[in-house]
């Protein structure tokens, strides 16, 4: 059989009848190569990775004793095999002298592709201004972004092709910037915080679920208002209870909301400032990982922490001057242990705090400028490193949120799973003749002077608008029979007949004739009563007597 196939192939004869379609082959490696990042010139000197401060020294001594025991065992048995998952973080700074002597420094761990999949990148270019908010759903399949162009866009890695276009865009608050976005823990809904005083809840596909109420701006006591009265700044979901979330605002409050009740918040936390006026703008808020603490950073530089089991009258932990007064703290983040707090300030610093010793920061990173308010900082998955967005002098940008309205997604063809790899290898759908013909067939032909029987129907947009207006129209209510109800006067058949028998004929009358009916004729008495009929003679007699006395 194989000989016959070879012979037919040499002769150019087909092996079967019908149209032979060639299978399309996609060069995946070539497409990945088009998205490979170029090495920046100023990145030759690798940064020195330092672990975060660990627990007390007593635990460190125990760890050192265990390490020394393992080292003695390794000397008897042989060299310790390398681990593919990288070094483990035990809270103690590791000694890399042995690695340096062997030629395997800490740079290899930092360049490990499995730890940092940053060899390739794609750019999501659809916003026209700076991207101010970004959130990824827990599964990593979708990304929602908000920008200063007032738009929110939904991106789906599984549905995008190589053009990298969002599948939905809309303006949640018209001409207000988007400040914050947060997916719920289940990923079935997300919050949008804009420059208005009302938070909005949306489903996974972008359908609006609820708009939470706005408070009364004329009430001075913020505890008595049902919602925020100032511009919103941030939000955070409760890590344990799926229906609870918090919002911070310029009205000097942090409010706890229930998803099921959009008419009023559940609890109000009034933040008081030590300055005159007792009010300050709350710029960011966060829940701890166990949901037992709420943190808020204010414009006056203060950092407050409340216990969720308290009455929220005053913060359990507070420090004035955590950041420079008048600067906007972009984000607050709790670590898994519940004791470490990370803040990204607008004073060009990133600070690490310990709730057990809250008088001063554990460590401070300085000279980190911010271009826009709301700039955030994050922990690594193992909380060994802290990452933030920093302005670079070179033109090669490596940030996830670029100032030109771009969202850059970093990935690795070898280490990453799905995500950006799905859309990179998917070519855009080619336009076929059927698509063009269907578009031309459905297009309206504009002939304004054609006869009515030859005119085409109106275009789809106008027709759809007209149908929508007709569906929204209300049918007139029928008359109420019997006694009236619901503010409407009742009617009966007898009443209708009587009204037609004795009609009001005032409309048919001449207004001039109607007025002349009340006119008096000459010689008629103009007095309505006879009480003053003879009064004229009485006064006339008195006047005659006065004249006689005067003479």
Q: Would you kindly state where each structural domain of the chain is located, as residue ranges?
A: 120-424
pLDDT of residue 471: 65
Task: Flag whether pLDDT at 57 surpasses 70.
Answer: no
Compute CA distances 413 → 9, 72, 244, 543, whole Å.
38, 40, 38, 125
Task: Flag whether pLDDT at 67 surpasses 60.
Answer: no
CB–CB of 100/48 below 8 Å? no
Q: What distance separates the 2 farthest-apart alpha carbons in the chain?
A: 164
Would you tell me how many other CB atoms lie within 10 Å of the CB of residue 510? 8
Helix (H/G/I), strand (E/B), else coil: 33? helix
pLDDT of residue 302: 95
pLDDT of residue 485: 73
Is residue 504 very low, low, confident or very high in pLDDT (cuts 50, 70, 90)? confident
pLDDT of residue 319: 94
Task: Flag whether pLDDT at 69 surpasses 70.
Answer: no
* Residue 433, H or E segment: helix 433-442
pLDDT of residue 477: 75
Is residue 381 very low, low, confident or very high in pLDDT (cuts 50, 70, 90)? confident
Q: For the chain, what percent of residues have pLDDT higher than 70?
A: 66
Strands 253-258 vs 331-334: parallel, antiparallel or unpaired? unpaired
What does residue 544 show for φ and ψ, rounded to 5 degrees? -70, -40
Is residue 473 very low, low, confident or very high in pLDDT (cuts 50, 70, 90)? low
Q: Pick the residue with more confidence: 54 or 433?
A: 433
Compute CA distances 11 → 2, 14, 16, 41, 92, whole Å.
14, 9, 14, 57, 74
Q: For the chain, what percent of residues have pLDDT higher than 90?
A: 43
Task: Flag whether pLDDT at 374 surpasses 50.
Answer: yes
Alpha-carbon distance 298 to 169, whole Å? 32
DSSP assignment of 439-497: HHHHSPP--TTS-GGGPPPPPHHHHHHHHHHHHHPPPPPPPPBSS-BTTB--B-HHHHH
Q: Pick the residue with more confidence: 331 or 77?
A: 331
**Encoded tokens for 198:** 């009302």
**Encoded tokens for 327:** 């600067």
Tens digits of residue pLDDT in 278-298: 789 999 999 999 999 999 999
Indicate the average pLDDT of the chain. Answer: 78
> Torsion angle of alpha carbons 430, 434, 438, 439, nearest 10°?
30
Tens digits of residue pLDDT in 121-177: 999 999 999 999 999 999 999 999 999 999 999 999 999 998 999 999 999 998 899
Alpha-carbon distance 505 to 494, whole Å? 20
- Average pLDDT of the segment spanning 212-240: 95
Candidates 3.60.15.10, 2.130.10.10, 3.40.190.10, 3.30.300.30; correct CATH number of 120-424? Answer: 2.130.10.10
Task: Flag whether pLDDT at 541 surpasses 80.
Answer: no
What does residue 12 show for φ and ψ, rounded to 5 degrees? 80, 20
**Encoded tokens for 258:** 């229930």
What does residue 269 show for φ and ψ, rounded to 5 degrees? -110, 110
Is residue 93 very low, low, confident or very high in pLDDT (cuts 50, 70, 90)? very low
Tens digits of residue pLDDT in 508-528: 888 888 888 877 665 566 556
pLDDT of residue 133: 95
**Encoded tokens for 507:** 């409309």
Determine which of 210-214, 362-366, 471-475 has the lowest per-residue pLDDT on average.
Answer: 471-475
Task: Find how far residue 441's CA is from the centre of its chain.
Answer: 40
Is residue 26 very low, low, confident or very high in pLDDT (cuts 50, 70, 90)? low
Alpha-carbon distance 270 to 313, whole Å? 8
> CA triplet 106, 112, 115: central angle to 5 degrees?
110
> Torsion angle of alpha carbons 152, 157, 163, 169, nearest 10°?
-20
pLDDT of residue 513: 87
Alpha-carbon distance 133 to 68, whole Å? 47
pTM for the structure as a whole: 0.65
pLDDT of residue 434: 72
**Encoded tokens for 453:** 């029987």
Is residue 324 very low, low, confident or very high in pLDDT (cuts 50, 70, 90)? very high
Is residue 375 very low, low, confident or very high in pLDDT (cuts 50, 70, 90)? confident
Tens digits of residue pLDDT in 94-131: 334 433 434 344 444 444 545 678 899 999 999 999 99
Task: Flag whether pLDDT at 244 surpasses 90.
Answer: yes
CB–CB of 244/256 below 8 Å? yes
Q: Pick the residue with more confidence: 436 or 507?
A: 507
Alpha-carbon distance 470 to 461, whole Å? 14
- Average pLDDT of the segment spanning 433-461: 67
Task: Flag whether pLDDT at 545 surpasses 70.
Answer: no
pLDDT of residue 479: 74
pLDDT of residue 115: 64
């Amino acid at each position: 059989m194989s000989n016959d196939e070879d012979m037919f192939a040499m002769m150019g004869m087909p092996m079967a009848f019908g149209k032979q379609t060639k299978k399309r082959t996609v060069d995946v490696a070539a497409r990945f190569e088009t998205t490979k990042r170029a090495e920046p010139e100023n990145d030759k000197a690798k940064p020195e990775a330092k672990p975060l401060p660990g627990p007390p020294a007593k635990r460190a001594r125990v760890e050192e004793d265990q390490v020394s025991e393992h080292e003695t065992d390794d000397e008897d048995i042989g060299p310790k095999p390398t681990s593919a998952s990288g070094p483990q973080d035990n809270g103690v700074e590791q000694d890399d002298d042995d690695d340096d002597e062997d030629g395997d420094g800490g740079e290899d761990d930092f360049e490990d592709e499995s730890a940092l999949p940053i060899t390739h990148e794609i750019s999501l270019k659809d916003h026209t201004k700076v991207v101010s908010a970004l959130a990824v759903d827990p599964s990593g399949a979708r990304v929602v972004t908000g920008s200063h162009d007032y738009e929110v866009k939904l991106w789906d890695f599984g549905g995008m092709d190589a053009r990298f276009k969002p599948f939905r865009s809309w303006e949640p608050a018209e001409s207000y910037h988007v400040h914050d976005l947060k997916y719920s823990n289940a990923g079935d809904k997300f919050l949008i915080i804009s420059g208005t005083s009302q938070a909005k809840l949306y489903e996974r596909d972008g359908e609006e679920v609820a708009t939470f109420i706005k408070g009364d701006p004329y009430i001075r006591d913020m505890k008595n208002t049902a919602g925020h009265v100032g511009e919103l700044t941030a939000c955070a979901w409760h890590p344990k209870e799926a229906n609870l979330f918090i919002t911070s605002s310029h009205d000097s409050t942090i409010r706890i909301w229930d998803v099921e009740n959009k008419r009023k918040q559940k609890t109000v936390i009034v933040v008081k400032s030590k300055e005159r006026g007792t009010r300050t703008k709350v710029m960011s808020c966060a829940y701890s990982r166990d949901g037992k603490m709420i943190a808020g950073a204010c414009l006056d530089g203060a950092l407050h922490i409340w216990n969720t089991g308290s009455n929220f009258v005053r913060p359990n932990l507070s420090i004035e001057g955590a950041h420079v007064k008048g600067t906007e703290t972009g984000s607050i983040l709790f670590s898994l242990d519940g004791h470490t707090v990370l803040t990204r300030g607008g004073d060009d610093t990133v600070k690490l705090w310990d709730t057990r010793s809250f008088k001063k920061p554990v460590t401070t990173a300085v000279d980190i400028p911010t271009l826009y308010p709301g700039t955030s900082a994050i922990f690594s998955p193992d909380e060994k490193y802290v990452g933030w967005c920093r302005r670079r002098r070179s033109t090669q940008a490596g940030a996830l949120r670029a100032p030109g309205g771009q969202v850059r997604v970093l990935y690795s063809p070898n280490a990453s799973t799905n995500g950006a790899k799905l859309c990179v290898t998917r070519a855009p759908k080619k336009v076929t003749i059927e698509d063009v013909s269907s578009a031309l067939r459905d297009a309206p032909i504009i002939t304004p002077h054609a006869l009515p029987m030859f005119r085409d129907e109106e275009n789809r947009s106008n027709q759809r608008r007209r149908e929508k207006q007709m569906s929204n129209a209300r049918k007139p209510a029928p008359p109420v029979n019997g006694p009236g109800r619901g503010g409407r006067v009742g009617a009966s058949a007898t009443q209708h007949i009587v009204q037609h028998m004795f009609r009001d004929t005032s409309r048919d009358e001449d207004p001039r004739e109607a007025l002349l009916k009340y006119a008096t004729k000459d010689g008629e008495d103009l007095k309505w009563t006879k009480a003053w009929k003879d009064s004229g003679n009485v006064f006339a007699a008195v006047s005659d007597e006065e004249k006689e006395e005067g003479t």
